[in-house]
Homo-oligomer: A and B are copies of this chain.
Amino acid sequence: MASAAPLHPVARQALLAALDEGWADPARLYHEGRRARLLLDASRETAADAVGCRPDELVFTPSGTRALHDGVAGAMAGRRRTGRHVVVSAVEHSAVLHAADAYDSTAVGVDRAGRVAPADVTAALRPDTALVCLQSANHEVGTVQPVAEVAELCRTAGVPLLVDAAQSLAWGRVDGGWSLLAGSAHKWGGPPGVGLLAVRKGTRFAPRHPADERESGRSPGFENLPAIVAAAASLRAVREEAAREAARLSALVDLIRTRVPEVVPDVEVVGHGTLRLPHLVTFSCLYVDGEALLTALDRAGFSVSSGSSCTSSTLTPSHVLKAMGVLSEGNVRVSLPPGTAEADVARFLDVLPPLVAEVRSHLGPPPAVTPAPGAGLVVDSLGKLCPIPVIELAKVIGDVPVGGTVTVLSDDEAAALDIPAWCSMRAQDYLGATPAAPGTAYLVRRRT
């Protein structure tokens, strides 16, 4: 259960064969060079078939991130006469958001399931919009986006659509009239070091690199041929198993989505229940230090990820969870690699409840509670990180009468997300936030 898929056996075989067979530079004339060129051409045809484009529309890049960076930059430069405005969804991968930062960008919001509304994309279009970027499916919560509908409205508006298909290429083609599409081999069981960028004919595109004759001038540098061959071979192999494996993993994800809230109290399963990737599921646990839970799961043999601020080096919660307005506290992301056994999932569901209980038992000391002037209490959580502010709020809410208020002072960015989410889960009234010095004051009224 990891965020990058393990290397597919076919990728491993192809990598070894290509290391032995196709070593030389495809641009060279001599014998090995010709063989390398044949391997590169065959890989391009395989990948193009899987993507649903022509081989001459597809180039290999050194990573999915570089494919996205180069795709955004090339598309924006190709339409620089139109303008410098780019529309992105608020839940795109950071590679897209960072690439868009170089331009005038508008982020379209999502609903609580993480889904973009096509009408919101239409509303964000301007006369100077040069590009729209939308992922095929979200990398943290698995929600599938309405790409075909957005592609159609983009076509009508005459604006190209770039699709980050990294999460979904293993499962199938991206339908609809997209203009550019990016993917990453290590997401489909291929090796790292390979991304792909498709630019459909008729799409204006101006590469931003220094000149280079390789990959149609769209991706400079010596081609990583063994990895490209392995990437293409594994994409074909995973596609052959995709329909059956998707159905099987999806049932296991359904099991997790149903069972986790039954066996663990105070859990929110996030992301869309049906319009989702087959293999990905994410939930958040109240009163849990995400890093402590990840470490405990790791010791039990489960590698999971988290969008909690407490597990990130930047100490900010995931921008995806933030845009969805869902709890980030104790966030756990489970990605089932192909072949995951039902027994592994059953064992995960067995170990999770005691581990969460264990982590919750290490709650901090009682909060410093101050009777506020008037009818409320003030909890000073300044300097304390997620999940402490919510834990302290939960501890004192019973100390005020129904109708009374608790003010939580916090300087942790996650509190802005987690305190309203807690109120919603616990049926308390969240009255809003006001700047304090230092930090922010979050006002909650006891309802029950």
Interface window among A77-85, A184-192, A254-262, A346-354: A184-192
CB contact between A191 and one of B19, B221, B314 (< 8 Å): that residue: B19
Q: Give chain B nearest CB distance to A417 CB in angstroms.
A: 20
B residues less than 8 Å from A3 (CB atoms): 24-25, 28
Task: Give the size of the chain A interface in residues (CB under 8 angstroms).
Answer: 63
Q: Kindly name the residue among A24, A223, A313 whose own CB sees the greatest number of chain B CB atoms within 10 A.
A: A24
Does A2 touch B at the CB level, under 8 Å? yes
Answer yes or no: A340 CB below 8 A from chain B CBs: no
Is there contact, CB below 8 Å, between B19 and A2? no
Residues of B within 8 A of A213 (CB): 313-314
Contact A98 to B212, CB < 8 A, known contacts A4-B222, A19-B15, A193-B227: yes
The answer to whether B62 touches A32 (Cβ under 8 A) is no
**A1-33 vs B, Cβ < 8 Å mask (1 yes, 0 no):** 011101100001001100100011101111111
Contact between B191 and A30, CB atoms less than 8 A apart: no
Tell me if A63 is interfacial: C-beta within 8 Å of chain B.
yes
Q: A223-B192, A224-B62 are in contact. Are A210 and B30 (CB under 8 A)?
A: no
In the complex, A190 Cα to B184 Cα: how many Å? 23
* Alpha-carbon separation in the docked complex, A191 to B94 (Å): 29
Which residue numbers of A lie inside 8 Å of B, CB to CB? 2-4, 6-7, 12, 15-16, 19, 23-25, 27-33, 62-66, 69, 72, 94-95, 98-99, 101-102, 184, 186, 191-193, 195, 209-213, 220-227, 291, 294-295, 297-298, 303-306, 311, 313-314
